[in-house]
């Protein structure tokens, strides 16, 4: 296990290359930055991994309330540790995938010595840190019961290695309560970004980011971030 400082926080991690790659995107390029009128925004982090994004949100809004989901049991234990060692509160951690239905799902994780667990996916032929993967049984859940008493979701972040479209399609009833959204697009298994954009455009004014920069044209076969801000009612 490795340990270092991240902003004003302590953090532990397994894979140094993976850590620095994710840190560069989230803390360096600030792909999840958003403005909130609330000093204690409610944030949902789907695909929290070891907590690099959770810590970023806490640095941005120290009084925020965060609901974080991570299905990979290895990543989840490190996530818990990273929250505990920093004594952070108002963070709820759920060891589950978010999906279209409640139940048991198969998660495919990196089974190599690289421990590249941020690429864990519900899709069998998704990319992973290596070609060596292992299927494990994990809990999957819908968001409904967690947000039934929440009127405003200030930020919804989704990074689930290919199941983003499934989550968006099955949770349209929640999107109307979201002020800001950030969705990672993974060009795998023939999945098209247009289907994600079509869903998001019904609720948000959106922009595309590639390598942290706003772009107008959609490149082929690249990891993109879709940012959205709630469309103002006329």
User: Does 70 score more than 50 pLDDT?
Assistant: yes
SS3 97: strand
Strand 224-230 and strand 204-210: the pairing is: antiparallel
In this structure, of 4-13, 162-171, 185-194, the range with the lowest mean pLDDT score is: 185-194
Task: State how far the Cα of 145 lies from the Cα of 103, in Å rounded to an integer.
Answer: 14
Q: What is the mean pLDDT of the chain?
A: 87
60: CB partners within 8 A, 6+ apart: 33, 34
Helix (H/G/I), strand (E/B), else coil: 194: helix
Chain segment 89-145, per-residue pLDDT in tens = 999 999 999 988 899 988 888 766 666 556 677 676 665 444 567 888 989 999 998
Q: Taking CA 85 as the corner, what is the angle to CA 33 and CA 29, rounded to the nearest 5 degrees?
A: 20
**Residue 233: per-residue pLDDT:** 65
What is d(CA 227, CA 184) in angstroms, rounded to the nearest whole number? 9
Q: Which domains does the chain have, with CATH numbers?
A: 2-101+151-230 (3.40.50.150)
Note the pTM of the prediction, 2 decimals. 0.91
Q: How large is the average pLDDT for residues 138-166?
A: 91
């Amino acid at each position: 296990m490795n340990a270092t400082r991240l902003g004003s926080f302590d953090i532990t991690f397994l894979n140094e290359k993976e850590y620095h790659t994710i840190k560069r995107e989230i803390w360096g390029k600030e792909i999840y930055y958003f403005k909130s009128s609330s000093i204690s925004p409610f944030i949902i982090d789907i695909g929290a991994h070891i907590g690099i994004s959770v810590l970023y949100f806490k640095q941005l809004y120290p009084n925020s309330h965060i609901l974080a989901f991570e299905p990979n049991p290895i990543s989840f234990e490190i996530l818990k540790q990273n929250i505990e060692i920093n004594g952070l509160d108002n963070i709820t951690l759920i060891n589950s995938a978010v999906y279209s239905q409640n139940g048991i799902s198969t998660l495919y994780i990196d089974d190599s010595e690289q421990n590249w667990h941020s690429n864990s996916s519900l899709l069998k032929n998704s990319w992973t840190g290596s070609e060596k993967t292992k299927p494990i049984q994990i809990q999957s859940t819908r968001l409904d019961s967690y947000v039934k008493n929440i009127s405003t979701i200030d930020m919804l972040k989704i990074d689930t290695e290919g199941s983003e479209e499934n989550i968006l399609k099955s949770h349209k009833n929640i999107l109307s309560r979201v002020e800001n959204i950030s969705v990672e697009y993974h060009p795998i298994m023939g999945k098209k970004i247009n289907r994600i954009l079509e869903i998001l455009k019904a609720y948000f004014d959106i922009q595309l980011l590639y390598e942290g920069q706003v772009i107008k044209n959609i490149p082929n076969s690249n990891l993109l971030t879709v940012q959205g801000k709630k469309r103002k009612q006329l």
